[in-house]
Structure formats: structure tokens, C-alpha cells
Structure 1
Amino acid sequence: MRAAVIGTGGIARGAHLPALRALRDEIEIVAAFDIDEEAVRAFCADGGVPRPYTDLDRMLDEQRPDLVTICTPPVFHREQTVAALRSGAWVWCEKPPCPSLAEFDAIEAAERQAAERQAAEASEEGAGGGGPYASIVFQHRFGSGARQVRSLIADRAMGRPLVAHCQTTWYRDTAYYSVPWRGNWAGEGGGPAMGHGIHQMDLLLELLGPWTEVRAMAGRLVHDVETEDVSTALVRFESGALATVVNSVLSPDEVSRIRIDCERATVELTHLYGYTNDDWRITPAPDVDAEELARWRDLGEDVPSSHLAQLRSLVADLRAGRRPRASGADGRTSLELITALYKSAFTDTTVRAGEIGPGDPFHTALHGGAPGWAPPSPVPVTEIPV
């Protein structure tokens, strides 16, 4: 399987390249792209990647990769994802997927068009297989702990989920925001809810299922940025469960945490940037016997949440020609919740699932043009044709 890397910064070096190289028996890394020629040449030299490019279209045309991984700032994700899909490549894109629901809808449209084109070509050749598809890096879904807890909650083994807490309280100093694309809507798309808390919020949705409404607040308490530096939200789920969500870059004692109180047990995950089985804890209600508790606590072989864990699953899906998890409607859920969080916070209203669509200002930009939150001299944002 031929793979190419788009963007050669820290996340490409620290996460994507090691994951791709760990699957060297299945994946050949054929090329990398970056607008910075010196950076891409250094990346290729250090990583043993044979061909550096500074022209994305040329790389896609000449190398015809089966899979591209996108490791660039969010503002470039839609354009680069669409280009890769049109070339016939599957996409694995870093979070956040793109800065707005309108851009995500455009990606889904490009995905459908690419799939239709590939299906027509396959029919002519007598071949099978689906795709190409665009998947988002949501690696916390793929650890063994999440797999077991998701199953327990779905099966109601611990009773109904009732109360949940989702916490991403990290610390970022002023130097962090000196990078030009951080802290502003144009480059990053959003603040800690979008760029940091999205991982825990996605895992919360993975475990609890669909949400129905959200009520939120956001603030700029420390940093001189366009976006927020802290947000809080109350979320109601279809199951009836209620959750609190806290996203912060102001917290010296950094932690990522999810806690879910079910009728017969409390499940808690505490970690920072990734977890193992040891980071999960299940506390039973008094009526649970030891044998049942042991079954709940059996998380199986320890598979840490990681880029590698998700990439293994994605490669299997690619070979089978089936839609991967964290793509399409399944990948959109977290972005929709975050968009609703911003709309609720900036308009002081309760926002319900499914209400933000074309014509809503929050569909095209997460600030929604809200006074006090939109950029000082905003460029008019229009709907993106799909």
C-alpha cells in the first residue's frame, strides 16, 4: 500500500511517521509534501522517505498514493482532503477535520463524487471495493479500554448511563500562541473546545451515543486571542444522560478525564494525551458481585489509544473497501457538537442537534459572526458549494 504524508511538522514526525513505519510490512511511504522545501527535505532524509515535494498536485499525480495522511493546520484540511480524494487516495486527516460544518459537508460531497468515479472505473475493470473515504484522527476510540466500556454501556451491562463528566484541562503559555495560526479563527478554527477538547468530546460521544441539546459558556480569561481559552457546557444525550464538559488551556495541573455514572457502576478514565488499560477504573454499586465485576474489568489485551491503533483499523478497512470509523456522518458528530457549543455560548441559547445547517452563520464559521467573538475585520464568509 503506497502512502504519502502532507505536512511535515511535529505531529507528522512524532505520530504519523512512527505509525506508518510500524506497519512497514503493509505500507510503503513513497513521498511527503510541504510548502517549506527545507522542512520536507529534512523530513524525508530523517524518515527514509524517498521523494520530497513542494507541489501537492504533482505529488498526487506522480505517486498515486493509496493513502495520504494530512498533518497540516486546520485551515488547509478541506482543500488538501478534497485534492487527495479526487486523486483516488483514502485520507487520514488530523483533528480538527476542518474549521466549519460547511467545509465538512464539502469534504463529504467530494468523497461521494470520488467514490462514484472509482466505482464506475472498477465496474469497467471488473474489480470491486469501495471508497475512497476521508477519516479523522480520533485515536482515543481505538484503545482496548474504550472498546470494552463502549460495549458495556451499549449492552446496558452496568445499567443506564446517567451522569457524565468530560474534562480537558490543559495548560498553554503565551509562547504557544506565538505561532501565527494559533488563537485565531482563520488559522485554527476555534479555541480549546476545537483544538484540544475535541478528542475527549469525541470519546464521550463514542461511549454515550447521540446528543440532543447543549447549553454552554465560553470566555477569554488569560490569553489575548480571538478564540476562547476556556469553555464549559451541559449536554443532554438521547439516552437521557446528562454531561458536563470543560475545556481549558489555563490549568497547570493538566488532565484529560471522562467519568460516567451508570445505574450499577461508575467508569472513569484519567490520562493526558493517551491511555492504557491501567488508566481505566470501574467502581461497582454495592449489589454487584465479584464475578460480574471481574467481567466488566476485563479489558482484554492492552491496546493503548494511539495513532498506530487507529491506523491498523484504517488499513484493514482500506483493504476491505469498507467505510472506516471516524469518517462521514460518524466523523461529523464531534464537529457538530463543538459548533453547537460555540453557538450556544455566543448567543446565550440552548442549541439542539441537527439545527445548524446551511443559512445558519455558525454553519460557515464557528464564531458565527457573533459580536465580541468574530474577527475585528471579518472576511465575508459564504456557503461552500458541495
Structure 2
Amino acid sequence: MTTWQDDASRDLMSLGGRLALLTRGEGSSVWDDEGRRYLDFLGGIAVNGLGHGHPVFVEAVSRQAATLAHVSNYFASPAQLELAARLKRLAGTGESGRVFLANSGAEANEAAIKLARLHGGKTGKTSILVLNGAFHGRTTGTLSLTPKAAYQDPFRPLLPGIRAIDPTIEALEAAVDDTVVALIAEPIQGEAGVVPLPDGYLARARELTSRHGALLILDEVQTGSGRTGEWFAFQREGIAPDAVTLAKSIGAGFPLGALITFGAASDLFSPGTHNSTFGGNPLASAVANAVLDHIETEGLLDNVAARGAQLREGVGGLPLVTGTRGAGLLIGITLSAPVAGEVRAAAHERGLIVNAPADDVIRIAPAYTIGDAEVEEFLVLFGEALAAVAATIPTPTETPA
């Protein structure tokens, strides 16, 4: 008798993952094919902002699918226009802002690269700055923005003209000059281990890019749509970028991404320079409208902030934990030893889904809807996983057998 692992090995590309065969979900719980329940505190990697099977999500998909699911980009739809206006309002672009709707964060970031190239065509500049530790996607273009040898080397040559610098204000000040067409950065580097930019970084970046005529483009694929307790992480810093990308939680599980432009950057694209067959389709747009409206009308941003603070305080006294970083419900829990992989596995064994983006960091990104019950269950299961791993680590006076 074959197993689902056999089927996956036979039929799917060998790309890793697949820890279980999940068959259904409700709220912050998912179940596998054997009926085992897991508490989902990864949320599809910061995607399932309303959890699983939320009535608002289900109703929006059902209603729009029965009405109009897809039209070509020769046409507009009411849901598309509503979403574009909503995103401009939430991002605070003012009247001059514009929105391009895509299918994913990688697609949104590809559009951002083209935006930078168009700006360069007007100014003669060619150099795009990115930050060490960044992750912007796995397409050829976005991979070029992701300075990690293990990701990039098998696919070279990549896009030219991209230069990586350390994520420090000093490196920023040394790098931004009149040859730079754009700086592309994440306010919090999720895949690096939930690493926020230094205090004052975005304000200094805004000042320097403006001075030298470069675009400031922020990748908020993970941090946008309310994940940090603000609609966008840049709003915490009191600045406005030239463009911002988002995806993940914007559709709460429905594939959707967006590029939002501000000011003069909104005039760079023109007919024929970019488009997408499925981008901004009525079904995806209607779901995003329903999700974002629910987050706003139900005050879920307040819950994101409150539950994030509750979780950071709760893990403080657990074994191996040395601290936390991030904002809202994008939290990196730092460990005293490089055992994050073991902790993730121990949590999985106990029915808790988290992940390990770095050797000494556990990342959590649960639904915006979590309450006391989910927080308490997480702390129990996570504490048990930490204690189990801690028990395997030799003390300074012990020597391994």
C-alpha cells in the first residue's frame, strides 16, 4: 500500500517540506489525514490572517465565484476598483497613488524591479541596492535581490546592476549616491530570522534616496496588511516610500499580491510596460476586499498588537529563550543555542506548527483572530517542546558521550 509520501515523491518536484498531509482547517487549527490536530502558529508563513475557514473568507469566495471569477485585463471589475481605492487609502498614498494587482509577493516584487528600471531609464541610473539577509522571492528577478549564495548560485547569471549592502545606517550612508536608482528593503527581514531594520533606518533611507533621486521601495509582503499591528510597517516610522509591495495576508489564503506607488513613481508605468493575466481578477479582489474590511471593522489590528505583546511576555521565561524581536504577530523568538530545527520538530511532535528561519530563531505568525485560549495553548506546547530540547543539551560541566 502506497502512502501519501510515496505519492508526493513520485509526482511532485523534490523541493523539500511536506511534514504532514493536511486535509482541513478551522480557526487556528488544522488536521492531517489521520485526524491529528495541530495548532497553527505559522499561518501558512504569515498568510492566513483570519485563520482557516473563516466565514468572511468563505462567503466572499462563494459569492464572487458565483458572480464573476475572471475577466481579461482588457476590462475592469467593481471588486478590482474597490480594492485599488482601499489599498491607496490604507497606505496613505493620497490621490496620486496607483495600484498594480498581481498574484503573489514575487510577482509584486518583479513589478517593483521594473518600476526601478523605468525610473533608471529616465535618469540614466542603473544600480539597485538591496540588503544582506533579504529575501524577495524565487523568480529570477527577485532572486537577484536575495543575496544568499545557496539560493543564487545555481541560477547565475542573474540580473546585473544589483548591489548588496549590510543593513546598517553606516553602510546605507556610504552606498547611496547619484548612481543609485532604487533601494529595495524589508522593514523586518522575515526569512533572516525576523530581523527589524535598525532604529531610524527607514527615516535615513527616505532622506538619502530623496536627496539623490532614487526610489525607496519597501517589500512588505510579510509585514503588510496589518501583520505588525499597523496596516504597513513603514507607517510605524512616519515616512512614505515611493512604492510598497504586499501579498500573503492581504488575501488571507487566496493568492494575491500588489504594488502600490506614491507620488511621481505612479507615472512610470504606461500601457504595454507591464501586466498580468490573472492579476486583479474579480475573485481575488473580492476576497481581499472582504478580508481587509473585516480586519478594519472588527478592530483586529488592536488584537494583533495586544496578542503580540502577550506572546512576547509569555515566552520570556521559557527554557532556551533569550528574547524576541519583530512586531505585532510577526515574532522571532531567539534561542540560546543553535537548536531551532530541533525545537520546530519537537513542537510538531506535540501538535504545534512553527518554523525555524535561522539556527537560533523560531518564527511565529499566527492568525490575527487568536485569543487567550490559543495563546495559552501555544505557550504550553511551545514550553514543552523547548524543555524537551533543552534536556538534550549538555550543561557546561557535562561532556557528550
Q: Normalising by structure 1, what TM-score? A: 0.29
Q: Normalising by structure 2, what TM-score? A: 0.28
Q: Which has the higher contact order (CA 8 A, sep 6+)?
A: 2
More strand by share: 1
